Chains A and B, each alone.
Chain A
Amino acid sequence: MIGGVEMEYRLHSLSDHAIMIELGDNISQETQRGVQEIASLLDQHPFEWMIEYVPAFTTVTIFYNPRKIANLNRTRELPYDYVCHQLNQFLSNLTLEKQTGSRLVEIPVCYGGEYGPDLETVAKINGLTTEEVIHIHSSGGYDVSMIGFAPGFPYISGMSKRIAAPRRKSPRLKIPARSVGIAGKQTGVYPIETPGGWQLIGRTPLDLFRPEEEPPSLLRAGDKIQFKPISYEEYQEWEKDKR
């Protein structure tokens, strides 16, 4: 139930070993909460046949093991039908709690200079000074909608349109890890070195991808983010402390 209304969903097969729960056609707070609720329930009560799940904006996809289901289920029901039955039961019992307090994660960013070579471009495009871009970027409240695209990469919503900027015409072949960028109306942080066309406005000393830790991602869907400007010297201090 969401606010007293039963949660609507549709089930689709993604492949012969994956099923998708779709909660709506549009990104809304309701679909996001639904996705998070399903994800946390699956964490608490994982199905025996589940390999893993992948939450997105409006969907939760469950990867399963058809061989295991064939062994579990003696009725010779098709694995997909078996999974549908189990999920229908699971989802009918689902009640959405009031939004639980989400974590606030502060992300220090050294804006401009060698770490943010496109800061001036972003300022120019929007008729602002670089200081104003930094102020707007770091005073906004952001939500992590989902993690995807790269390990630990957050899809972040909530950036002010006043600092929106199109992607670079020619993408860079290498964007250093931890770069903070803007693409269209989105802002994001690159966890690992990748090619990409985002306008780079700064860099954070925080590692978003932590392969040695559990979970390996600093951020989780549902987190709130606050960017905090730091100086070049402070950035170096952070780097030193990491070592």
Chain B
Amino acid sequence: MMTIEKPGLLTSIQDLGRYGFQKYGVIASGVMDPLSHRMANILVGNEENTPTMEITLLGPVITFHETTLISICGGDLNPSIDGKPIRLYRAVLVKKGSVLRFGSCKLGCRAYLAVAGGFSVPSVMGSKSTYLRAKIGGFDGRALKLGDAVFIDSPGKLSEKIITYLLGQLKENSFVESKWSVALDFTPTYKNESMIRVTKGRQFHLFTDESKQKLFTEPFEVTSQSDRMGYRLKGPKLALEKAQEMISEAVDFGTIQVPAEGNPIVLLADRQTTGGYQKIVQIASVDLPLVAQRKPGDHLRFVEITNEEAQQLLLERESRMSQLKNGYLLKFS
């Protein structure tokens, strides 16, 4: 069990999302950065869909009431245990009674805390993700707050092996980090200037040539009106060749739509299931984690790739993830 001494800005329990109910208007929810979430789970020996804690910009303070195997991946919010910094992308065994704190935001803006066994919350419609607006899922359907006691499910076999291994090195310390970590070339660096790869959206052809050109040459700023539902961007105004009403249709994670006033909106984890604005481009799945780690004031630059390239990149990413997982399984089998 762990208790929340300070909740942070927005700390919620999320898994990979609630699927199968979008046809009833129930949004998918889930983590903003699936890659970091999955890596954190793999490092503690969990299944990839096990719920993690999504920590935003300003992190919480958490006391561990039992010795717990954790991992933090994604944004670097300067985590420390009992005053000593801990590294990301590693398994960390935390001794009972230790306190985890987060500092200022160094890189990215969302950290994912996985615990061996996963957070013990009920499954609602097949998912443990928090759907904040409908107040369902996750921890009581809401973000974590001061004084919450969060329980942890019993760790699986693989987690137990990692715990046993690290326990031998814990000694009198508050925590011990694993020597192994996710390969450096596979950990994202969240450089603000890196380009975001996109494919043409369904209504791309309806925009003016000037809009299409500016989209790929000018930077767009993430404004303060940005949250888990979507990022409102500011940059050159994007306009349709001629104004027209659109029939509402499905949208996806990473869809960029443009309302009549011309400022694009990137739809993210808590997006609506359908939308009635023209979709200019769609972010490639492999670059969604990069977008999810940008914060208000950061910029996005777009570069076009084909749908074929986007799928190839996705399959390559997936095979790299399988390697990571299998390598780990082998180490402890």
Contacts and interface: CB of A to CB of B under 8 A. Distances in A.
Interface of A: 12-18, 20, 26-27, 39, 51-59, 61, 63, 66-67, 70, 78-80, 146-153, 155, 191-192, 194, 209, 211, 215-217, 221
B23 interface: yes
A80 B125 CA distance: 28
B25 interface: yes
Given A16-B314, A150-B25, A211-B136, A27 B247 contact: yes
Given A80-B308, A148-B248, A194-B133, A54 B254 contact: no
Contact of B125 (A20, A54, A155, A211): A211
B273 interface: yes
A18 B250 contact: yes
Those 3 A-B pairs whose CB atoms lie nearest each other, nearest first: A61-B250, A148-B274, A217-B24
B213 interface: no
Interface string B236-276: 00000000000111111111000000000000000011100
B311 A52 contact: no
B247 A58 contact: yes
12 contacts: A18-B252, A52-B20, A56-B250, A56-B274, A58-B247, A59-B247, A59-B250, A67-B314, A149-B272, A151-B24, A151-B25, A216-B125
Given A55-B23, A56-B248, A215-B24, 4 more contacts: A13-B199, A14-B282, A15-B252, A52-B23
A170 B314 CA distance: 44
Contact of A15 (B22, B125, B199): B199
A209 B199 contact: no
Given A57-B249, A58-B247, A12 B202 contact: yes
A66 B311 contact: yes
Contacts of A17: 252, 285, 314
A14 B252 contact: yes
Contacts of A55: 23
A48 to B, nearest CB: 15
A48 B248 CA distance: 27
Interface residues of B, number: 39
Interface string B20-32: 1111111100000
Contacts of A150: 25, 272
A216 B249 contact: no
A117 B284 CA distance: 46
Given A148-B248, A215-B24, A14 B202 contact: yes
Interface string B310-321: 111011001000
A70 B315 contact: yes
A15 to B, nearest CB: 4
Contact of A51 (B19, B136, B202, B318): B19
B307 interface: yes
A16 B201 CA distance: 11
A191 B125 contact: no
B314 A148 contact: no
Nearest to A22: B249
A221 B273 CA distance: 15
B124 interface: yes
B125 A67 contact: no
Contact of A16 (B133, B199, B249): B199
B247 A152 contact: no
Contacts of B124: 211
A16 B24 contact: no
B134 interface: yes
A52 B22 contact: yes
Nearest to A46: B20
Contacts of B254: 15
A53 B20 CA distance: 7
A54 B22 contact: yes
Interface string B82-101: 00000000000000000000
A55 B133 CA distance: 23
A63 to B, nearest CB: 7
Given A14-B202, A192-B134, A209-B134, A216 B250 contact: no
B250 A151 contact: no
Contacts of B20: 51-52
Nearest to A147: B25
Contact of B249 (A20, A53, A153, A211): A20
Given A15-B255, A59-B250, A61-B250, A148 B199 contact: no
Contacts of A217: 24-26
Interface in B110-168: 124-125, 133-134, 136
B247 A56 contact: yes
A153 B133 CA distance: 14
A20 B253 CA distance: 15
A151 B124 CA distance: 14
